[in-house]
Structure 1
Amino acid sequence: MFDDADEETLAALLAWRDKPAKHQPAWPDKDELDRVVAYLRTLPPLVFAGESDKLKQEMAQASRGEAFVLMGGDCAETFADVRADRIRARIRTILQMAVVLTYGASVPVVKIGRMAGQFAKPRSNDIETRDGISLPSYMGDAVNGHEFTPEARIPDPERLISAYQHSVATLNLVRAFTTGGFADLTKVHEWNKGFMANPAYSQYEAMAGEIDRAMRFMRAAGVSHDSFRTVDLYCSHEALLLPYEEAMTRIDSRTGLPYNTSAHLVWIGERTRDLEGAHVELLSHVRNPIGVKLGPTTKPEEAIALIDKLNPEGEPGRLTFISRMGAGLVTEKLPALVEAVRADGRPVTWVTDPMHGNTITASNGLKTRRLGDILTEIKGFFTVHSELGTHPGGIHVELTGDDVTEILGGSEEIVEDTLTERYETLVDPRLNHQQSLEMAFLVAEELRHIEI
């Protein structure tokens, strides 16, 4: 808590309040918001500084090509989906993807879930209008309700407390599943063999067979290690709601340094990465690993200025740039940024978000994406780094462990006519379980042919 901060640190942590803050809810009662924030400050941290430091070391490895990052999870978590079966399905999908990517990359995969905190989203418009009625846009369950009623759409600070509580419940399950035998490598591999039983995925049989032979070799050689039975699954979210992120920033008792204890890694979105803005200001003062989304309008000098602000001393693993260019622009727009950062010399972990630059509207009005476009952007990301001699550090994708029908394409051929069968997202479309695994196999094939 801030009680342990010296005057200089306290002033730095509160400096964001004097900066312009984009995409913040219009809280109707400031006194109520202040009361909620004061209460959140008294609650235990969700994660610990030592865990964030460990992730920072692993992100540094990814920046050097010694690891590969898999960030995945819901576009926007909902309170209703904080259920054991939904969380288990999401974790299972991430673990299955990680096994395949580990084989393809031949380096450890750093597993980070978009979970236990991704309860808020920026929106293009503050107001949503239906049939002549205008109400505040839905900004995620941490802010307001999705129902299109005046009562549901009023931003409610009490929801910040609910977001904290649901994050606690999610993290409890994550830790139980990843340390209690659910993540056993043999079990995860068997799940992938079940995936291969579907004739739609026969094209991946060769790689699945290679992984199976590697597993049998390890068993025959008597290889056994705790790392085969448990995994580290870190949590992350966009640090959008500044009062919440401030409340969850604490002074580490070991080092006296401030950490954001709402997640191991927090990122700044494309819409809130203003150098003089409140989001960059607040996160510049915490010691977690930090991500920043970079879209196609980002200029090389902006990328360098972000390094100056967020990682001036060049601490390895501290800063991750998450590019989100779009399939048609990645090979055109990304090279200049990568070249500028390489010339600067301070380490950055490069990760691709192939989702947000490829959103389209289907003929029925639903937001969707094409799996082919997602894969094209990933391939373009790898191509850029291969040509420049830099390291593609990982992928950042929106996915679910359920068999939804939100993204077009894949071997099971979701088309516009079938989008409505199980279109469940409240904000952005997600890869379903099968599409996520198919993508992992395709990315693993790419990884086998490049030097990370």
Structure 2
Amino acid sequence: MSVPQSPVPPAAVRPAEQQPQWPDPDEVTRVRERLAGLPPLVGPHDSDRLAALLGEVARGRAFLLQGGDCAEMIERATPAAVHGTVETLSRLAGTLERAFGMPVVTVGRLAGQYAKPRSSPLETVQGRTLPAYRGDAVNGAAFTAEERTPDPRRMLRAYEAAATTLRLVADRPEPVPRPVAREVFVSHEALLMDYELPLTREDSRTGRAYAGSGHLLWAGERTRDPEGAHIAFLSRIANPVAVKIGPGARPDDLLRLARTLNPGAVPGRLTFIVRTGAGTVRRVLPELVGAVADAGVPVAWVCDPMHGNTVRVNGRKTRYFDDVYEEIAGFFEVHRALGTHPGGVHLEMTGADVTECLGGGSGAVWSAGLRPADLASRYESACDPRLNRTQTLELGRLIAGLRTPSLVAAG
């Protein structure tokens, strides 16, 4: 893969955004040194294998299923939580493989999603203002001064939780009857530079730099500045990388990102994860996809139907199941019209029976007609709402009905 070889980016034109205000810089230095002395969580070979599989997605011969928690919580790196998410993803992948007639590449939002960007650095509750929760690698979710104070030692706990999660992914029990063995890769947003940089190492085989924190890393909508530190970092690692694309993006933005992140035009190197909202996707997406296609840029196009459809109901963040499906349907319609490949979906979901998204369910299942009054019964997300197991599998059945000419031909 044609990428620069330096393990750390040079000084970027603009500093890294969305970083914590650590109260003790000396402690940050000590934690970074500790992280730099720990083994990488994933190796170059596995990241290269995922890049090859994503190359098939970019070529229209495979489909990407990416999903997991909005924000992983360290205390939930347990067999029940991890196995539940992976089992749900695996079942959904099987449904899509049978419907589309092509391989499904399965990637979890797992073993690294411990830092979150926020729209405001502060949060006010009942007249009291504290730092916003930025993920378990930074501070705690509880609304107290002690919990909300950023603590760099949490990055070490996040590393240990990620290592535990990876072991659970590898050692998950096999369902009966046994399906075809499915490899599950892990991914997260490359947000926290004090965590990502110490875990980035040079591969002795090739001299190329790899992020050791996950197989696939992405830049978010708030950190995708082509001149910023996050894109500079992604440009210098050999892992496959992705960028979240919101409704305000312009074609030139995507072309600049492609030139920076995939100068060698290698299929599988770069994925664009589009998050526009159900009411916007059919209007915004055609121009973006058309411009990239006309430029001959090989990317995998993936739909994130979650982040553009968040609303508040009864004081809680939630998403309507119908909006999630509608954005996916619009995403497929646009690609069908353009003759391009709808390469995948990116879901915030869990294998648990939570009550965080409204609607969903069919027939007599318990989640049918999940109402606003039900949100409080099992709302467990530390940040944004997730589809529960039943909703996720139902969504899979609906996606399976969105076969397009490109999917049929490729299969």
TM-score, L = length of structure 2: 0.95
- Aligned-pair CA distance for 1:450: 3.6
Moved more, 407-416 or 320-329: 407-416
Checking the alignment, whether the CA contact within 8 Å between 1:183 and 1:231 is kept in structure 2 is: no
2:255 and 2:71 map into 1 onto residues whose CA distance is 30
1:451 maps to which residue? 406
Moved more, 14-23 or 375-384: 14-23
Q: Deviations over 1:232-257 (max 9, x none)?
A: 10000000001111111100111110
2:61 maps to which residue? 66
2:322 pairs with one of 350, 363, 372: 372
SS at match of 1:446: coil
2:174 maps to which residue? 182
- Aligned-pair CA distance for 1:65: 1.4
- Aligned-pair CA distance for 1:18: 6.1
2:168 and 2:332 map into 1 onto residues whose CA distance is 34
- Aligned-pair CA distance for 1:297: 0.3
1:70 and 1:38 map into 2 onto residues whose CA distance is 35
1:41 pairs with one of 22, 36, 43: 36
Letter aligned with residue 429 of structure 1: P
Q: Deviations over 1:318-377 (max 9, x none)?
A: 000000010000010011110110011020000000000000111x11110011001010
1:408 maps to which residue? 358
2:139 pairs with one of 141, 144, 159: 144
Residues paired across the two proteins, number: 398
SS at match of 1:275: coil
After superposing on structure 2, the runs of 4+ consecutive aligned residues of structure 1 that deviate more than 6 Å are: none
**Are the structure 2 counterparts of residues 13 and 58 from structure 1 closer, same or farther at C-alpha, using a change threshold of 3 Å?**
same
1:134 maps to which residue? 129
Letter aligned with residue 168 of structure 1: A
Letter aligned with residue 205 of structure 2: R
- Aligned-pair CA distance for 1:130: 1.4
Equivalent runs, 1:93-112 vs 2, <5 Å: 93-112=88-107
> Which consecutive residues of structure 2, in runs of 5 or more, have no partner in the other structure?
362-367
1:305 and 1:273 map into 2 onto residues whose CA distance is 11
SS at match of 1:320: strand
Quote the RMSD (CA, aligned, Å): 1.3
1:314 and 2:265 aligned: yes
**Are the structure 2 counterparts of residues 312 and 14 from structure 1 closer, same or farther at C-alpha, using a change threshold of 3 Å?**
closer
- Aligned-pair CA distance for 1:9: 4.8
Which of 1 and 2 has greater Rg? 1
Checking the alignment, whether the CA contact within 8 Å between 1:95 and 1:183 is kept in structure 2 is: no
2:188 maps to which residue? 237
1:316 and 1:286 map into 2 onto residues whose CA distance is 16
Equivalent runs, 1:210-229 vs 2, <5 Å: 228=180
- Aligned-pair CA distance for 1:46: 0.6
1:450 and 1:439 map into 2 onto residues whose CA distance is 21
1:71 and 1:293 map into 2 onto residues whose CA distance is 13
SS at match of 1:20: coil
1:117 and 2:68 aligned: no
- Aligned-pair CA distance for 1:390: 0.6
1:207 maps to which residue? none
1:390 and 2:336 aligned: no
2:256 maps to which residue? 305
2:78 and 2:97 map into 1 onto residues whose CA distance is 28
1:65 and 1:136 map into 2 onto residues whose CA distance is 44
- Aligned-pair CA distance for 1:148: 1.1
1:331 and 2:282 aligned: yes
Checking the alignment, whether the CA contact within 8 Å between 1:113 and 1:233 is kept in structure 2 is: yes
SS at match of 2:107: strand
- Aligned-pair CA distance for 1:17: 6.0
**Are the structure 2 counterparts of residues 85 and 16 from structure 1 closer, same or farther at C-alpha, using a change threshold of 3 Å?**
farther
TM-score, L = length of structure 1: 0.86
Checking the alignment, whether the CA contact within 8 Å between 1:16 and 1:282 is kept in structure 2 is: no
Letter aligned with residue 170 of structure 1: T
Checking the alignment, whether the CA contact within 8 Å between 1:104 and 1:444 is kept in structure 2 is: yes
- Aligned-pair CA distance for 1:445: 1.1
1:428 maps to which residue? 384
Checking the alignment, whether the CA contact within 8 Å between 1:16 and 1:279 is kept in structure 2 is: no
2:365 maps to which residue? none
1:18 and 1:69 map into 2 onto residues whose CA distance is 33
Letter aligned with residue 69 of structure 1: L
1:277 pairs with one of 219, 228, 232: 228
1:295 and 2:287 aligned: no
- Aligned-pair CA distance for 1:79: 0.9
Equivalent runs, 1:432-443 vs 2, <5 Å: 432-443=388-399
- Aligned-pair CA distance for 1:19: 3.0
Checking the alignment, whether the CA contact within 8 Å between 1:16 and 1:277 is kept in structure 2 is: no
1:44 and 1:183 map into 2 onto residues whose CA distance is 31
- Aligned-pair CA distance for 1:451: 2.2
Checking the alignment, whether the CA contact within 8 Å between 1:405 and 1:421 is kept in structure 2 is: yes
1:244 and 1:106 map into 2 onto residues whose CA distance is 39
**Are the structure 2 counterparts of residues 16 and 394 from structure 1 closer, same or farther at C-alpha, using a change threshold of 3 Å?**
farther
2:246 and 2:31 map into 1 onto residues whose CA distance is 34
- Aligned-pair CA distance for 1:419: 1.1
2:46 maps to which residue? 51
2:348 and 2:136 map into 1 onto residues whose CA distance is 17
SS at match of 2:8: helix
1:277 and 1:153 map into 2 onto residues whose CA distance is 27
2:217 maps to which residue? 266
Q: Deviations over 1:357-405 (max 9, x none)?
A: 000111x111100110010100100011111111010000000100011
1:146 and 1:365 map into 2 onto residues whose CA distance is 17
2:125 and 2:375 map into 1 onto residues whose CA distance is 22
- Aligned-pair CA distance for 1:187: 4.0
Q: Deviations over 1:103-152 (max 9, x none)?
A: 11110100000000001111111001112211100001000011111111
**Are the structure 2 counterparts of residues 9 and 442 from structure 1 closer, same or farther at C-alpha, using a change threshold of 3 Å?**
closer
**Are the structure 2 counterparts of residues 376 and 125 from structure 1 closer, same or farther at C-alpha, using a change threshold of 3 Å?**
same
SS at match of 2:10: helix
Letter aligned with residue 329 of structure 2: K
Give the structure with the larger helix fraction: 1
SS at match of 2:289: helix
1:316 and 1:237 map into 2 onto residues whose CA distance is 20
